Amino acid sequence: MSTAAIYWWGVMSQGARVARQRLPIGRCYGWSGPVCIRAHHYSGRRSHCEHTAENHGGKRLWALGLSGVVLGGTLYAHYRRRPLVAATYSKRVPGERVFGYKEYSVAEVAKHVTKEDRVWVTFRDGVYDITDFIDKHPGGENILLGAGGAVDPFWDIYGVHKKKEILDLLEEYRIGNLEETRSSLETINDPYDSDPPRHKALKPASLKPFNAEPPLQILADDFHTPNSLFYVRNHLPVPLIDPSEYKLEIEGIGIKGTKELTLDELKTKFPKVTITATLQCAGNRRSEQNKIKKVKGLDWGAAAIGNATWSGARLTDVLQYLGVDLHDPRINHVIFDGLDLDPTGKAYGASVTARRALNPDSDVILAYEMNGEVLSRDHGFPVRVVVPGVVGARNVKWLGRIALSEVESDSHWQQNDYKGFCPSVDWDTVDFKSAPAIEELPVISSICDPLDGTQAQVIDGKIHFRGYAWSGGGRKIVRVDVSADGGKTWQTADLVKQEKALPLYRTWSWTLWEANITVKPDQKFAELVCKAVDSSYNSQPDTVEPLWNLRGVLNNSWSRARVQLTHK
């Protein structure tokens, strides 16, 4: 066996072993002082919140690791062909800050994920443009799974990539330094210091508060999105909550005074209900609206969505236990307040209509488990409300209070955010009171693989692509139409993963689809398109321009991916 073969065999064997392992157990958190949160007041007692990092969908996690392997292995092979590395680069300490280079933020690096925008990665404090290397490596487009982020976590696993000759070669592609975002002054009393660790594959849209989405390709791998790779949407610092002291307050119409339930009571007094539901941020695919005209909001790609099983107590069971009449005409809204607080002590809050929340068929639950595991801190430990079929913003995490009310929540996020407007409305003319708060989301789909701007292989005259489709309000996906010529001709995709046994109007989870389309033997490019149809025969509009709005929400236009074809 050649040296190169032995090398690659070792890398692949090591990768296979890692892929079979679970991610490390999440750290225990705690701090002393007046900020350990209970549901109804602050506590000075020490907190210990435990959670486990999730690892499902080994196939794509392996691919994510492989992207690091591919880059390192390719640099090694390239080095073997070019043994003389420029002295200028070899004198540097790879990954360390280099005086005189431009500095780039994590958010700016995250924007460079395609060849059109140039593909950037980071290693320690260095920023590297590896675009011109992509076509040379043996792993094809797998390297793009690590684009726009750090290769450190992958190379920490595969130590062979830290050979001096490989790191020196990487320095040839250096374009700058990673911006120093935290000075010693910034870390003093920083409310985000106790935020939990996150999977390195998550691509941040913002760091404080932390908001991030996974690589888009992984979403098409597994019906249930791995917990550690589920998109994260936080509005404020992640609270530290002692589960032994947690108490959920419930008050309002039909309830005498304020009632409290502990976490143990939620788990033991009520039947444990499990549902599968997709959560999606209202700003999913906002980046496409930004290409029309800049909007205000996080620059989400198409992965601010995920599907999971959620387990907990049904909201209607809890309210009936407390003596609430679910048909009380005075109750118009159900308000949910979190335990994440702004500097003034105001909690994140939202509400949904009583017509939805108090209907047992709506399957609203007070969830304490996600994909069979205890909720992680980023996803609402110890309890979050899950309102299936409704925009993610109403699925309040770290739930501290429920109120039955005649009026909706007065929180900023209910009154002055998460609303849609006409494209002509700007920040000088907008009236948030004139529009209802978003609840159900429209039908949407996305091509997950291949990515826009990448290469796609043609095998036996056909191109293979895949993605997700979902509709709000429980409407099942009944069809996904796909095209390889920008929408001139169409065919129907295969719905490969779907909860088929559920009713047409009580399907809270997404559908994963795949398609194979014939292309011409000499065709060099293809414009892939998908559009979904739900059980009410709602379909997606063809372009994003008419959907543009100043908050960049509700983009459900056709998903498009222009790819370069490589024929086999």
Residues facing 470 on adjacent strands: 444
- For residue 161, indicate whether it is catalytic: yes
Annotated catalytic residue within 231, 348, 368, 418: 418
Catalytic hit among 51, 56, 60, 161: 161
Contacts 24+ apart (CB under 8 A), 78-83: 78/133, 78/136, 78/169, 79/165, 79/166, 79/169, 80/4, 82/169
Contacts of 140 (CB under 8 A, 6+ apart): 455
Angle at 149 between CA 60 and CA 209, to 5 degrees: 100
Contact of 48 with 30, CB cutoff 8 Å: yes
The Cα–Cα gap between 502 and 517 comes to: 30
Strand partners, 367: 312, 384
105 and 181 Cβ atoms separated by less than 8 Å = yes
The Cα 63–Cα 292 span in angstroms is 33
Which of 51, 56, 60, 137 is flagged as catalytic?
Answer: 137
**How far is the C-alpha of 243 from the C-alpha of 293, rounded, in Å?**
45
Residue 192 is among the residues annotated as catalytic for this protein? no
CA dist 65 and 366 (Å) reads 35
Cβ pair 213, 203 in contact under 8 A: yes
Q: Between the CA of residue 140 and those of 7, 66, 86, 429, what are the distances in Å? A: 18, 11, 26, 49
CB 363 within 8 A of CB 314: yes
SS3 track for 245-314: CCEEEEEECCCCCCEEEEHHHHHHCCCEEEEEEEEECCCCCHHHHHCCCCCCCCCCCCCCEEEEEEEEEE
Whether 356 is catalytic is: no
CA atoms within 13 A on the CB side of 8: 11
Distance CA 56, CA 176 (A): 35
What's the one-letter identity of residue 164? Answer: K
Told to judge if 48 belongs to the known catalytic residues of this protein, a careful annotator would answer no
- CA contacts within 13 A on the Cβ side of 263: 21
Q: How far apart are CA 214 and CA 208, in angstroms?
A: 18
The token duo for 71 is 């880059």
Distance CA 445, CA 92 (A): 46
Please indicate whether residue 92 is annotated as part of the active site: no
Residue (of 354, 356, 362) closest to 329 by Cα position? 354
Catalytic residue among 29, 76, 199, 281: 281
Which residues are known to be catalytic? 137, 161, 233, 281, 418
